[in-house]
Amino acid sequence: MPDPNNILIAAPIWEDLYLDPEDIPPEVRDVLEYRFSFLTEYTGWYASKIVEEAVARGFNVTLITGDAPTRELVESELERVDPLLFVHADHGSSSALLGLDGEEIVDLENAHVLAGRITYTISCLSAAALGPAAVDKGCLAYIGYAEPAWVMLIKWKRAEDAEKIMNWDEVSMAGFIAGVTKGLLVGRTAEEAWVKLYSMYTRLIDYYDAHRDPYGIWLVAMLVMTANRNALRLLGEGSAAVVPTEALTEVPIILPIGLIGIMSLGMMSATKLGE
């Protein structure tokens, strides 16, 4: 039986990668480039925030990050750590959670590795086919998106301009993700965590509709929040919950060889793979 004290987080950091132009919709092909690697740097940062929160609450956390998350490693760590909560911070497809540079680390073939677990992922599309398949194979609860999940990133020349428009802690995808995970860490059920996230989207949609800035950010924000809210899914047992029963002893962090400078994780120990 999965251990309620243990959490496994997979947060690959991709190499710089662009989609083939033919895979980009024609109407935006001339003005848009999809930088998958940039987004994984962002999701990797939010994964570190989850680690900090989970460690503070007494969980045993294993973080697989950098170029370490492969299908083989994720499968073996799910078996070894046997976590009740599995968090995936990366891209996805309708039938798979992706790892380093697009490798399918959990798909329809090995969805049984999620059996007995609560799974939370920010990946695009995976709740469409993988989520139902995982639940059919015993996954307790699956929280994810059945359509593309969007992130709004804006670079400001002056920080004060950003502060006039929005509260970044509230509207960033990292803030939303951390909110769901923190809810699970304090004992909220999967359904309560899902409802909280759905309500956050609704609240911000209403906020931006009422506060229309001159830059047009309000419209982009509303579109992003509405799309994500409509794509959000909870599959499986809404009553599933994570409740730790023992105190933390150490925090293994599985990193690629030579990767250093992860001080923000507050790690107590680290495990490096291979030579």
pLDDT of residue 253: 45
Distance of CA 271 to the CA centre of its chain: 22
Give the percent of the chain with pLDDT over 90: 32
In this predicted structure, the answer to whether residue 220 has a pLDDT above a threshold of 60 is: yes
CATH number, domain 3-272, options 3.30.230, 2.60.40, 1.10.10, 3.40.50: 3.40.50
Q: pLDDT tens-digit profile of 29-75?
A: 454 445 555 666 667 777 777 888 888 888 899 988 877 788 999 99
Domain residue spans of the chain: 3-272
Split at pLDDT 50, 70, 90, the class of 235 is very high
104 band by pLDDT with thresholds 50, 70 and 90: very high
pLDDT attached to residue 37: 59
Residue 195: CB atoms within 10 A of its CB come to 15
What pLDDT was estimated at residue 273?
A: 32
Q: Please report the DSSP string for 198-263 in residue order.
A: HHHHHHHHHHHHH---TTSHHHHHHHHHHHHHHHEEEEE-TT-B----S------EEE-TT----G
